[in-house]
A = this chain, B = another copy of it.
Amino acid sequence: MHSLTSMLQSLTCPIPLQRYPQVLLAHGGGGSLMRQLIEEMFLATFQPETAWQHDAASLALSGDRLAFTTDSYVVTPLFFPGGNIGSLAVYGTVNDLAMAGARPHYLSLSFILEEGLPMQTLWQVVQSVQAAAEQAQVRIVTGDTKVVDRGKGDGLFINTAGIGTVEQDSFIGPSAIQPGDVVLLSGDLGRHGIAILSAREGLAFETTIESDSAPLAIAVLDLCRQVPVHCLRDLTRGGLASALNEIALSAHQTIQLETNAVLVPEEIQGACELLGLDPLYVANEGRFVAFVPAPAAAAALDCLCQYNPSAQIIGTVTDDQPAQVVLQSPIGTQRILGFLSGEQLPRIC
């Protein structure tokens, strides 16, 4: 992402910065300044198939099951090691579609800008959105821009909504989980939350920890083609522990985890100890869990390891009640992983 960042910074902003160094309220006002912003920055960058200035994009989509999702992004700071709010807004929504077993096709993109935002910042984010959309193989087809007065926002917020097509016949979700299912984790844990926190607080660790923010749809669709998948979930706010708790509650099943199987890199572990955080609850933006029947576990692991060699089998499902998430240590002790009331780190996405 570093080379991407420097590449983006070398492109010239299409809005004349000497005249409009900052976003004005009028850039959201429906007049000629908003029109200039939309045409010269957004349309020129995203080149949607249908004209953005129309009220809605018209899409040709075959298949009779669609997936539809939305997320708003309020991450602070806007730029962090391994990404920024623009790439995050694309990957996050693409990943939500992938977790429904859907192939992502189209995204909407809506900005809430604070008056006074440097125009160059907006331009970098827009370029990053487009680069991320190309990487994730989705098109930005419709959008909106609002500007709020200085002090009523925080630089910029983004909303993306996404449409995908569901490609497999079987339902993917907590209710499909069976006792005996195996739980796989697609990589190591904790990079995104720690990257954000270190950027926010100006903390310097021995090495720069980069966010794991990445599009997951290609790996997930490959997995779904190769093995029967019962449930998928990406590990964003609240991390692995919160995601598994939600699934356990919805599925009315217990999830048993092996402590040693969950990989937390040494540098993340060290940062978490320093900061008093539990890495099992720290947010990730490029990791997911998959629930598959036990006979398919080895093939599933092989598939996931092609995309990330740190993928692991981390646990199994039982019908023990009450439904909860239990962490098993190698010496046989158990720890119940509950819900936190909130996030350890606010505004990580």
B341-A31 in contact (CB<8A): yes
A70-B33 in contact (CB<8A): no
Please encode chain A, from 155 to 174, with 1 for each CB lying within 8 Å of some chain B CB and 0 for all others. Answer: 00101011110100000011
Give the CA-CA distance A27 to B8 in the complex, in Å: 35
Residue of B nearest to A114 (CB): B152
A106-B68 in contact (CB<8A): yes
**Dominant SS at the A interface?**
mixed
Question: Would you call A253 an interface residue if the criterion is a C-beta within 8 Å of the partner chain's C-beta atoms?
Answer: no
A212 to chain B, nearest CB (A): 17
- Chain B hits for A73, CB < 8 A: 146
A297 to chain B, nearest CB (A): 22
Give the CA-CA distance A277 to B97 in the complex, in Å: 45
Residue of B nearest to A239 (CB): B30
- Knowing A54-B173, A69-B55, A109-B70, the reply to whether A340 touches B31 (Cβ < 8 A) is yes
Please encode chain A, from 12 to 37, with 1 for each CB lying within 8 Å of some chain B CB and 0 for all others. Answer: 00000000000011111111111100
A110-B67 in contact (CB<8A): no
Give the CA-CA distance A173 to B185 in the complex, in Å: 48
A72-B151 in contact (CB<8A): no
Question: Would you call A347 an interface residue if the criterion is a C-beta within 8 Å of the partner chain's C-beta atoms?
Answer: yes
For chain A residues 82-116, which have a beta carbon within 8 Å of chain B? 95-97, 99-100, 102, 106, 108-112
- Chain B hits for A239, CB < 8 A: 30
Residues of A within 8 A of B (CB): 24-35, 51, 53-62, 64-74, 95-97, 99-100, 102, 106, 108-112, 141-144, 146-149, 151-154, 157, 159, 161-164, 166, 173-174, 232-234, 236-239, 242, 246, 250, 283, 339-343, 346-347, 349
Cross-chain pairs A/B with CB under 8 angstroms, 17 sampled: A25-B343, A25-B346, A26-B343, A28-B346, A29-B237, A29-B342, A29-B343, A31-B342, A35-B339, A54-B174, A55-B95, A58-B66, A58-B100, A59-B66, A70-B144, A148-B347, A149-B346
